[in-house]
Amino acid sequence: MNDERTKRILVADDDVDFAKALGNRLKSKGYEVIVALDGYQALDFAVKHDPDLLILDINMPAGNGFSVHERLRNRARMGMKPLIFITGEDGDWVERAALDHGAFGFMRKPINSEELTRLVRTALGEERHVIVV
């Protein structure tokens, strides 16, 4: 990862308005954002643009977030990228499944902007948090 350039984030969500709003929030924080509207675009854009962070909706057409991540995990450079899953899905199973897929973070919709920004900065190594148990 090159710290000299603006960090690039791929946002994949089939809800166009949500994806654009999320992209605009991240752009306002200084990130370069690529928006994909389904699993196929997410795979294509991830390979073409080599993002520093992936934010994937779990439920999308043409490949859900889990299947997109599975395919990208097999690519040398993409397999180590931090990943945040987002979803509107209810139930504890979905968070467990996201963490089982190696997600750095998991958020339910509606997304809290401040929490997302903190999670993104931490995932990109720009901010550190101490967790006290």
Instruction: Write down the mean pLDDT value for the chain.
Output: 88
> Which stretch, 78-92, 98-112, 118-132, has highest mean pLDDT?
98-112
pTM of the model: 0.88
What domains, with CATH codes, occur in the chain?
A: 8-123 (3.40.50.2300)
Average pLDDT over every residue of 110-133? 84
Residue in 25, 68, 75 with CA at minimum distance from that of residue 50: 75
Compute φ and ψ for 8, nearest 5 degrees: -105, 130
What's the burial of 119, exposed, middle or buried (CB within 10 Å: 0-12/13-18/19+)?
buried
- Summarised one tens digit per residue, pLDDT across range 42-81 is 999 999 999 999 999 998 887 788 888 888 877 756 667 8
Is the pLDDT score of 104 beyond 50? Answer: yes
